[in-house]
Chain A
């Protein structure tokens, strides 16, 4: 079977959807975090595919930057999650509802 651009896009849209709905539905911050990473991965996949399809390297360059950003993001996010766990002994999002109204 010939794999076309559409297949890549479909896969990336799926990844994005899984990521987004994971954020919506999961309650453990770590899992949510992975889902956020999935969303970023989805865009990198789309960028690489488009880059190939368009014949310009801009997309590939962008991917490298996104990877860097994602790495920094993981560091920031995990640090905060660890700090949260230390202080509150929980990593469940649904226990974080003191701020409302």
Chain B
């Protein structure tokens, strides 16, 4: 294959795939074909990401950077993409006429995410962010309207309005940062920003820009869209929104944070405050939830708070543990959503009480749920425990004892509501309803893979942590430009 194309293979595959699905959507009722195409694309993307692992190049005058970091994240994202496509199944809760389009927008959103992790320039960053976000707005709105379920449009409107407002704020911040430094390239910008860090205009610019990223990660108080969007969107869409964009958000935050000077003492305090509030807020409100998706929404806020703990340490080990944690979170939350998608009757939301007797209706789903929730709760030997351990030790190594104690306390609170769900699934009274849930082959395979991933990532974390640390080491080194340009 052409050596010039090679580094960009994943992006090209997604673009091409998007085109193919677009052509498919032109025909009538071709949802099967669209799904097959989407799965093929996901598989091809995964293969390409593996193939392109270790490639290095820059594009567009240094605005787009293929390095170990981006390639690793592409691999993670493409694995998540495959899982999302499979768990979508035949999209029970999407309006029948537009099911092929669902796959189109899904693929486009993935294109945005895959590009996002390579962006080192605010222009490309904004483009990629928007590209990953716009299709999501549509996906939320595509849910079927029916009796007793008239919330999808509300949630789509809230999502898009809030999202665009957040992006507008971030853009405005970027424009100030550009004005101050005269460059759009992030590495250059950070160097030039150092001496003028304390001028009012820099402070306003940085504040506005960070608000946009915190919105993406759903950190308190920028999180208010999360539970509503989870609840209002179809189960498949919610599983996407809950998992992959967060990985992208953390990746961007790592790119930004790794450029800042590590001896800045203000940022750790600020991040700890945000992390603490997010953890408490998410965990405590989740205690009182009845809708499973909404519960996961609130718990997602808490988990974003945990991920921030890694940034508090503000060194490479901290970033590595944050990335490891969010990767684990992606797997765990997808495992929970697989269960939601399959338990749900014709795609409606799942109340916790509906899980009753799940272990009789489908032992595999019950096991997936139990493993996923125990992992989210941070119990060993699952990845959630290892991730938390990593975050806490890196924070501890930098002397943030109080933060660590609060994080452990929060983990203890969270156990309570996760266990409530498990109790319902295992011990709950199902009122005699024992209709077995039939799973197709791909779902079975997905469940097993997710369980294995949660356990393996938790039991043998060294390979992935080493890979992440290795990729972080080369984050700011100069790279050769792609030869074509």
Direct contact of A and B (CB under 8 A): yes
Check A11 for interface membership: any CB of B closer than 8 A: no
Within the complex, what minimum Cβ distance (angstroms) separates B237 from chain A? 14
B contact residues around A25 at 8 Å (CB): none
A80–B160 touching, CB < 8 Å:
yes
B contact residues around A56 at 8 Å (CB): 182-183
A contact residues around B182 at 8 Å (CB): 50, 54-56, 58
Q: How many residues of B contact A (CB 8 A)?
A: 38
A76–B160 touching, CB < 8 Å:
yes
Within the complex, what minimum Cβ distance (angstroms) separates A3 from chain B? 16
> Which of B19-27, B134-142, B357-365 touches A?
B134-142
B contact residues around A58 at 8 Å (CB): 123, 178, 182-184
Check B179 for interface membership: any CB of A closer than 8 A: yes
Check B206 for interface membership: any CB of A closer than 8 A: no
Interface size class of A (residues with CB under 8 A): 35 or more
Task: From B150, B153, B169, B174, give the contact of A83 (CB < 8 A).
Answer: B153
B178–A98 touching, CB < 8 Å:
no
Check A72 for interface membership: any CB of B closer than 8 A: yes
How far apart are the CA atoms of A59 and B158 in the complex, in Å? 31
Task: Mark each residue of chain B from 147 to 176: 1 if its CB lies under 8 Å from any CB of chain A, else 0.
Answer: 000110111111011001100110110111
B176–A46 touching, CB < 8 Å:
yes
B130–A73 touching, CB < 8 Å:
yes
Number of A-B contacts (CB under 8 A): 130
Check A18 for interface membership: any CB of B closer than 8 A: no
B contact residues around A10 at 8 Å (CB): none
B179–A54 touching, CB < 8 Å:
yes
B150–A50 touching, CB < 8 Å:
no
Answer whether A29 and B171 are a contact pair too, CB < 8 Å, given A62-B123, A88-B150, A99-B231: no
B134–A73 touching, CB < 8 Å:
yes
B contact residues around A72 at 8 Å (CB): 130, 134
B contact residues around A39 at 8 Å (CB): 165, 168-169, 171-172
Name 20 extra pairs, CB < 8 A, besides A20-B168, A62-B126, A66-B171. A19-B168, A29-B157, A36-B164, A36-B168, A40-B168, A43-B174, A47-B178, A49-B179, A58-B184, A59-B184, A61-B123, A72-B134, A76-B138, A76-B160, A80-B137, A80-B141, A80-B160, A84-B153, A87-B153, A96-B154
A residues contacting B by CB (< 8 A) are 9, 12, 16, 19-20, 23, 29, 32-33, 36, 39-40, 42-44, 46-47, 49-51, 53-56, 58-59, 61-62, 65-66, 69, 72-73, 76-77, 79-81, 83-84, 87-88, 93, 96-100
What are 12 contact pairs spanning A and B, CB under 8 A?
A: A43-B171, A50-B182, A54-B182, A59-B184, A62-B184, A76-B137, A77-B164, A80-B153, A83-B156, A84-B157, A96-B154, A98-B150
